Chain A
Amino acid sequence: MGFLDIDNTTKSYGSTEVLHKVDISVEEGEFLVLVGPSGCGKSTLLNMIAGLEEITSGEIRIKDEVMNGVHPSKRNIAMVFQSYALYPNMTVGKNITFGLEMHGTPKDERDKAMNDVAKLLQIEQLLDRKPGALSGGQRQRVAMGRALVRDPDVFLFDEPLSNLDAKLRVDMRTEIKKLHHKLGTTIVYVTHDQIEAMTLSTRIAVMNGGYVQQLGTPQEIYDTPANIFVATFMGSPAMNVVPAKVSVENGVPMARVALHDGSLTSLPFSQANMAEWDGKEILLGIRPETITDEDAADRKSGNIAHMTNRIVVTEPAGSDTFVTMTMGGRDVIARMRSDANVSPGIDFMFAVNMEKAVAFDPETEVRIAP
């Protein structure tokens, strides 16, 4: 039993099921991020934890207490909304203490809690203002203050940063992470931004079409994605996925991949069990940063393969240069050092770290190695 258990939970609107048998167990102090494309059911799941949406079947428990049918205010949760949802007619101070007032906390305690939170979030000078007179970042802080002041068991965040501009978003992201370190409260955080998910979480649930595709630590999700959806959704630029054929040469399973001119190159797998796929088609997943020039290849890797392929486009991006080539008839992106000696049209010898390569079943799109 975890701290927050989502047990076989489904959600239907009428006859359409939008969440299918979700099973997630969150430990105390964890930072769980629900990530997935728009419409995949993240908010619905969060609202079910909050009690704002009914649970069609299954159970949600907080601290081993069944929450089905329990009113949102009785779950000891707090939520930060995408639009901040600050009460427009109340001052910042009133916004922060409204929940305490509704729960019957005496005025002096409310004021003390408000001042503590205001200090923590550095919004003391805003307490008498109305939300209309605040900037986006300030509203964001007030919304967090309103959640913090309740000292809840679980914090729920629904895309809290998506209304901020890029710079502020990064700052607030760090701030939220700091807060989590400091307070250690359990957090469930919804976002469609995979970078936010990777940087903030202790664990990630990648969702698509109402299914949890994979639940794991950021590292697990990144290195061993459960399927092609997770592989391509997490990471930027996305993982390259190219068709390949397995053939065993001298006892070593190889991925045979077509290069720009249709000639085949052999990239050896690190996993011996890929031999079972001898003669079969697979999809090979290669992260852009694992395709480099020889000098930048990972020294610790025991399996660097080489291939010479034609460069189609180079895109310098400051610290890195992105190089596009063709493999298996698809565009493949390599992330090179900015000083790599590359230019469009030339044939270049790439080093591929095959220790990091991932193989998928082309039928089911499920990972078969590693």
Chain B
Amino acid sequence: MSVASQDTAIRTGRAVRVLIYLVLVLFSLFYLLPLYVMVVNSVKPLDEITGGGMMNLPQVFTIEPWLKAWSSAQIGVEPTGLSPYFWNSIKMVVPAVAISTVLGALNGYVLTKWRFKYDTILFGLMLFACFIPFQIVLIPMARMLGLMGLAGTTSGLVLVHVVYGIGFTTLYFRNYYAVFPTELIRAAQIDGAGFFQIFWRILLPSSGPIAVVSVIWQFTNIWNDFLFGASFAGADSQPMTVALNNLVQASHGVKEYNVHFAGAILAALPTLLVYIVAGRYFVRGLMAGSVKG
């Protein structure tokens, strides 16, 4: 994922270089430490953890905590494990990411290529959505969901996340399309392509880099969201983050740290996966200005 190539990098002396690497390695270790702790403790029997030595490698290797976290741990009152909530999250995240990305692309398209009076003001207002703290909208949103009959449903959560995400996705796509040559749109108009044909056939196929940015951003935010999930989800639509909290917070019995660690990793895996698969396009997309023609 290195962005600077050889000729843009600043030349440095050998000593400086060693120092830089040393600092980098130290920081990496520092950042990787929590992950290490989580992984090693998720494959230990509980007594190895309670006996102290959080940093030690497991003496007995077991995947029992993972299985338990996934399928049989006590979440709230039911011993279901995290798996149903994992699927709840998927059912929420996939449509929310898809819809907010497509709408953001459409908005960006209209705001740059179908300019109208006061469009910059409208865009400014949409940007405002990026800066509204979640807490402010909780009560009005709950009321709206109730009025729409979506309270406590996955659809309701999808709606909330789409509404909240549109500001960001519009920003991404608007800035990307702003430098997309308008002559291409004009050529397509003369060729007889309509509003949506231009969008699907000309604009979207050239939007790969920014679509990746939008998807990663939205996926990470929505998957990791706790507040909206805790506030608006019903018993059977709770997302992974809320379930993880319930697992860890369970007030009865012994605290099974190894199960908690495994559960936490399970909850974090999808975002990690998305970033590993598409991460290098993320930087590229953020840097991408125009379509090279």
The interface of chain A, by Cβ under 8 A from chain B, is 47, 50-52, 71-73, 77-79, 81-89, 98-99, 102-103, 131-132, 146
Can you report 19 residue pairs joining A to B where beta carbons are below 8 Å apart? A50-B186, A50-B190, A52-B189, A71-B189, A81-B183, A81-B187, A83-B181, A83-B293, A85-B187, A88-B291, A98-B188, A98-B191, A98-B201, A99-B190, A99-B192, A102-B191, A102-B193, A103-B192, A146-B191
Whole-angstrom distance between the alpha carbons of A82 and B181 in the complex? 11
Closest to B197 in A: A102
Instruction: Report the minimum CB–CB distance from B178 to chain A (whole Å).
Output: 16
Whole-angstrom distance between the alpha carbons of A84 and B202 in the complex? 15
5 A-B pairs closest in CB distance: A73-B192, A99-B191, A102-B192, A89-B205, A85-B183
Whole-angstrom distance between the alpha carbons of A103 and B197 in the complex? 12
Whole-angstrom distance between the alpha carbons of A102 and B205 in the complex? 17
Contacts of B188 in A (CB 8 A): 87, 98
Instruction: Report the minimum CB–CB distance from B119 to chain A (whole Å).
Output: 15
Closest to A143 in B: B187
Q: Does B184 contact A (CB under 8 A)?
A: yes
Binary A-proximity of B194-206 (CB < 8 A = 1, otherwise 0) = 0001000110011
Contacts of A98 in B (CB 8 A): 188, 191, 193, 201
Known contacts A82-B183, A83-B181, A83-B183: does B293 contact A88 (CB below 8 Å)? yes
- Find out whether the CB atom of B181 lies under 8 angstroms from the CB atom of A85: yes
Closest to B184 in A: A85
Q: Does B292 contact A (CB under 8 A)?
A: yes
Whole-angstrom distance between the alpha carbons of A73 and B184 in the complex? 14
Known contacts A79-B187, A81-B186, A87-B184: does B293 contact A132 (CB below 8 Å)? yes
- Find out whether the CB atom of B202 lies under 8 angstroms from the CB atom of A87: yes
Instruction: Report the minimum CB–CB distance from A113 to chain B (whole Å).
Output: 14
The interface of chain B, by Cβ under 8 A from chain A, is 181, 183-184, 186-193, 197, 201-202, 205-206, 291-293
Whole-angstrom distance between the alpha carbons of A130 and B41 in the complex? 53
- Find out whether the CB atom of B189 lies under 8 angstroms from the CB atom of A72: yes
Contacts of B192 in A (CB 8 A): 73, 99, 102-103
- Find out whether the CB atom of B202 lies under 8 angstroms from the CB atom of A89: yes
Contacts of B190 in A (CB 8 A): 50-52, 72-73, 77-79, 99
Whole-angstrom distance between the alpha carbons of A83 and B202 in the complex? 16
Q: Looking at A52, A83, A102, which has the most chain B CB atoms within 10 Å of its CB?
A: A102
- Find out whether the CB atom of A85 lies under 8 angstroms from the CB atom of B186: yes
Contacts of B197 in A (CB 8 A): 102
Whole-angstrom distance between the alpha carbons of A52 and B184 in the complex? 12
- Find out whether the CB atom of A73 lies under 8 angstroms from the CB atom of B293: no
Instruction: Report the minimum CB–CB distance from A137 to chain B (whole Å).
Output: 15
Whole-angstrom distance between the alpha carbons of A81 and B186 in the complex? 9
Whole-angstrom distance between the alpha carbons of A82 and B184 in the complex? 11
Contacts of A52 in B (CB 8 A): 186, 189-190
Whole-angstrom distance between the alpha carbons of A71 and B291 in the complex? 27
Whole-angstrom distance between the alpha carbons of A132 and B291 in the complex? 10
Contacts of B183 in A (CB 8 A): 81-83, 85
Closest to B205 in A: A89
Instruction: Report the minimum CB–CB distance from B207 to chain A (whole Å).
Output: 10
- Find out whether the CB atom of A73 lies under 8 angstroms from the CB atom of B191: yes
Whole-angstrom distance between the alpha carbons of A72 and B183 in the complex? 13
Whole-angstrom distance between the alpha carbons of A341 and B184 in the complex? 55
Q: Looking at A52, A71, A132, which has the most chain B CB atoms within 10 Å of its CB?
A: A52
Whole-angstrom distance between the alpha carbons of A348 and B156 in the complex? 93
Whole-angstrom distance between the alpha carbons of A86 and B9 in the complex? 35
- Find out whether the CB atom of B181 lies under 8 angstroms from the CB atom of A132: no
Known contacts A73-B192, A102-B192, A131-B293: does B187 contact A88 (CB below 8 Å)? no
Contacts of A131 in B (CB 8 A): 293
Instruction: Report the minimum CB–CB distance from B242 to chain A (whole Å).
Output: 42
Whole-angstrom distance between the alpha carbons of A87 and B186 in the complex? 11
Whole-angstrom distance between the alpha carbons of A88 and B187 in the complex? 12
Contacts of A85 in B (CB 8 A): 181, 183-184, 186-187
Q: Looking at A84, A86, A89, which has the most chain B CB atoms within 10 Å of its CB?
A: A89
Contacts of A89 in B (CB 8 A): 202, 205-206
Closest to B181 in A: A83
Whole-angstrom distance between the alpha carbons of A79 and B292 in the complex? 22
Closest to B194 in A: A102
Instruction: Report the minimum CB–CB distance from A100 to chain B (whole Å).
Output: 8
Instruction: Report the minimum CB–CB distance from A88 to chain B (whole Å).
Output: 5
Closest to A80 in B: B187
Whole-angstrom distance between the alpha carbons of A81 and B182 in the complex? 11
Contacts of A86 in B (CB 8 A): 293
Instruction: Report the minimum CB–CB distance from B142 to chain A (whole Å).
Output: 44
